[in-house]
């Protein structure tokens, strides 16, 4: 079962390519599909910490980046530790910086002490596998492939990808949302939300200025597409002869019922993604302020079951907005309005 940043429907499409030009791409996609089952087992079986962990004085970031040297043994050889100078290897330095930017968002905006809330050191391995078309969180650390060079660039290029995968760790150590069906789509959506917020916080972009794209910069120039997903307009991130068209729905009117992709966790995440984006755009300003606070408190507050549905999550975010800002607040109205727009009943 697939739970890395690249949706399985993209990998399956690439794996089925029969053109000699894409033979290496097809092989890389097949290898990625075979590998992600182990990633799923690591993520879903990893222990979770008590919900609601928050420390007012987060500890300084503690990063280590490793080089797998095109192998698959983790973590690999350490190549940069906290405080070390840049190495000149783009993958190493992008991973190092991305870990730091993610830590900064959680510490500064939410008062969280690293991914687990307890000061967890942040680790990343780069140059994983040969032409590996994915990036993932394995329950303990980040892992990045270099891409196939034809469809995908190296996966450290996108800060939203780094933030996305580390957010799976936050969910692991707080809500522990199951990685299947609607709970899995919320799991994926929460990672997109905080992946986008990491990027926006680093760039100091308002909700209006942000692209709301997840995985921007991953595609090579040969691909007709801007990113893996668009939170603002699900279903529009790419439309390419090789990849096909982005299949994400933007409301429950086009919800995808499927057994593949763990019950559509990557496909249907577009619905709650758009809801968050609508809240942020309605309120204006910085999305990591009120909108991010509402989603963060909902995720870590202990009210979500592991099998949370879209409706239950929507009600929980509305309850959080009411608690934080009041029933008559613009924040509460924005949350309710966003879920109504994407046709999720409250």
Active site residues: 165, 266
CB atoms within 10 A of CB 259: 9
Tokens describing residue 235 = 């279903």
Q: Which two tokens stand for residue 18?
A: 């029969």
Half-sphere exposure of 291 (CA within 13 A, CB side): 29
**Tokens 């070390």 correspond to what residue?**
84
Question: CB within 8 A of 323, min separation 6: which ones?
Answer: none
User: 126 - beta bridge partners?
Assistant: 67
Cis peptide before 75 (omega within 30 of 0): yes
Element (DSSP H or E) covering residue 78: strand 77-81
Specify whether the CB–CB gap between 100 and 61 falls below 8 A.
yes
- Residues 6+ positions from 346 with CB-CB distance below 8 Å: 311, 314, 315, 318, 336, 339, 340
* Structure tokens, 220: 């090579």
d(CA 11, CA 2): 10
Cβ neighbors of 210 (< 8 A, separation 6 or more) are 196, 199, 200, 203, 287
Residue 81's φ and ψ, nearest 5 degrees, are -110, 170
Q: Are strands 122-126 and 63-67 parallel, antiparallel or unpaired?
A: parallel
Task: Answer yes or no: are the C-beta atoms of 217 and 199 closer than 8 Å.
Answer: no
**3-class DSSP assignment, residue 142:** strand
**Contact (Cβ atoms closer than 8 angstroms) between residue 280 and residue 200:** no
């Amino acid at each position: 079962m697939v739970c890395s940043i690249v949706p399985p429907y993209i990998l399956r499409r690439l794996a089925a390519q029969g053109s000699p030009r894409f033979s290496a791409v097809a092989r890389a996609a097949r290898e990625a599909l075979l590998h992600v089952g182990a990633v799923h087992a690591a993520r879903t079986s990893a222990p979770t910490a008590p919900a609601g962990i928050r420390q007012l004085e987060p500890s300084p970031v503690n990063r280590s980046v490793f080089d797998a040297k095109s192998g698959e043994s983790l973590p690999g050889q350490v190549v940069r530790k906290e405080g070390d100078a840049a190495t000149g290897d783009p993958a190493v330095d992008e991973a190092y910086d991305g870990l730091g930017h993610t830590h900064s968002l959680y510490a500064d905006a939410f008062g969280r002490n690293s991914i687990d809330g307890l000061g967890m050191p942040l680790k990343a391995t780069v140059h994983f596998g040969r032409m590996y078309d994915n990036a993932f969180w394995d329950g303990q650390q980040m892992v990045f492939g270099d891409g196939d060079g034809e469809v995908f660039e190296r996966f450290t290029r996108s800060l939203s990808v780094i933030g996305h995968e580390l957010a799976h760790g936050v969910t692991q150590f707080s809500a522990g949302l199951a990685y299947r069906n609607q709970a899995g789509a919320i799991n994926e959506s929460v990672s997109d939300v905080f992946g986008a917020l990491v990027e926006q916080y680093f760039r100091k972009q308002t909700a209006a200025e942000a692209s709301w794209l997840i995985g921007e910069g991953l595609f090579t120039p040969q691909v007709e597409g801007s990113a893996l997903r668009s939170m603002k307009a699900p279903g529009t991130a790419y439309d390419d002869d090789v990849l096909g068209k982005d299949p994400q729905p933007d409301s429950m009117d086009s919800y995808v019922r499927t057994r593949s992709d763990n019950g559509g966790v990557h496909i249907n995440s577009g619905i709650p993604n758009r809801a968050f984006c609508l809240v942020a755009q309605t309120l204006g300003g910085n999305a990591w302020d009120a909108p991010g606070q509402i989603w963060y408190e909902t995720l870590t507050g202990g009210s979500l079951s592991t099998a949370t549905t879209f409706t239950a999550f929507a009600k929980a975010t509305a309850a959080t907005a009411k608690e934080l800002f009041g029933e008559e607040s613009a924040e509460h109205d924005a949350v309710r309005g966003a879920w109504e727009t994407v046709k999720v009943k409250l």
